[in-house]
Amino acid sequence: MPTVMLFQSTDASAPTLTGQTGSLIALLDACLVNGYGSKAAAGWTKSYSGTNKAAYRQGAGSQFYFRVDDSGPGAGGAKEARIVGYEAMTGIDAGTNPFPAAAQMANGLFIRKSAAADATARAWRLLATDKAVHLIIYSGDVANNATLTFFGDIVSLKPSDVYAAALIARATENSATATNDEGAYVGIIGNAAVRTGHYLARSHTGVGGSKQFACIAPGYMSAAGYAGGASALVMYPNGADGGYHLQPFTVVYDTVVRGTIPGIYAPCHNAPFSDGDTVGGAGAMSGWNFLVVGCMSAAQVAFETTANSWG
């Protein structure tokens, strides 16, 4: 069972995230590679680097690379960084089999750091194992709501799945609109259409390159299709058992179910908790712990801080 590390901007000695170049690299270095204060790193390596750029390699699993360009290369300037996955790299600007491929997203995907290109500190959280990362950033664009980014291995249904690495992030550059987020919380009921911010290294066949996918949750979760939002269909507490019901996010494409996104769940209720609340599991999830995070207007997701669903 992997070790799940929870890093937060409120930790002693935590790095500061701002709308300035390099601040995201400093954050990822501290959490994934070096550790800080009393917290050990998540077990990744920094394989290549450049000025405000870094390529991080998983310590386990697929052991692929995720290149982050925090030099302010796009229309959003230092407010955003760009991210692309690679199966292999030989330098900070040299890699093979990117996901997304250039033909899919010419500039990769985007991580919204801040609503302004300035030194204002932004709150953040990061949950990680040595093969998967959830990055949660409160950019200030939407009050009390976070932008979510995922990179690393999914929990695959295919045994020995060597191409299970995925990247989920913003597909729209330089936007303050929350609905432009393509984070893991986007689940469309009855609609398995692929999303422009969701990419796997390859399909389950291993043939070809970057594969777009959909990230969905069960149909009774919400009438509108979003996690823990105002249209959620299940009362809280649930009338039958008094419970807080969660469902995993499922990776699907081409009528294939590939697996689930590790460590993240869709609440089936209308946001009964506040951002940052912690909830303990019961029944089959006894001993599990969850961190509630607000995102995309009134929606919520729950991250497992224990290691049961991380693969």
Nearest to 54 by CA among 19, 79, 89: 89
> CA-to-CA distance for 260 and 252, rounded, in angstroms?
9
Name the pTM for this structure: 0.95
pLDDT at residue 152 is higher than 60: yes
Average pLDDT over residues 102-126: 97
> CA-to-CA distance for 241 and 276, rounded, in angstroms?
24
> CA-to-CA distance for 193 and 59, rounded, in angstroms?
32
Is residue 32 a contact partner of residue 42, using CB atoms and an 8 Å limit? yes
> CA-to-CA distance for 208 and 177, rounded, in angstroms?
33
Position 190 scores a pLDDT of 47
Residue ranges of the alpha helices (H) in the chain?
Answer: 23-28
135-140 contacts at long range (C-beta below 8 A, 24 or more positions apart):
135/111, 136/293, 136/303, 137/17, 137/111, 137/112, 137/113, 139/79, 139/112, 139/113, 139/114, 139/115, 140/114, 140/115, 140/116
pLDDT in tens, 222-248: 555 455 566 667 888 999 999 998 988
> CA-to-CA distance for 23 and 29, rounded, in angstroms?
10
Position 135 scores a pLDDT of 97
- The single-letter code of the amino acid at 126 is L
Q: Which residue has the tokens 């976070």?
A: 146
Position 271 scores a pLDDT of 80
Domain ranges for the chain: 5-304
pLDDT category of residue 182 using cuts at 50, 70 and 90 = low
Residue ranges of the alpha helices (H) in 56-206?
Answer: none
With a pLDDT cut of 70, the percent of the chain lying above it is 89
Both tokens of 28, joined, read 């990822």
* DSSP conformational letter for 15: P
β-partners of residue 275 are none
Is residue 68 a contact partner of residue 81, using CB atoms and an 8 Å limit? yes
> CA-to-CA distance for 176 and 310, rounded, in angstroms?
31
Using DSSP's 3-state secondary structure scheme, residue 31 falls into helix
Is there a cis peptide before residue 272, judged by omega within 30 degrees of 0?
A: no
Is residue 231 a contact partner of residue 223, using CB atoms and an 8 Å limit? yes
pLDDT category of residue 189 using cuts at 50, 70 and 90 = very low
> CA-to-CA distance for 218 and 221, rounded, in angstroms?
6
- The single-letter code of the amino acid at 231 is S
pLDDT at residue 306 is higher than 90: yes
Radius of gyration, alpha carbons of the chain: 18
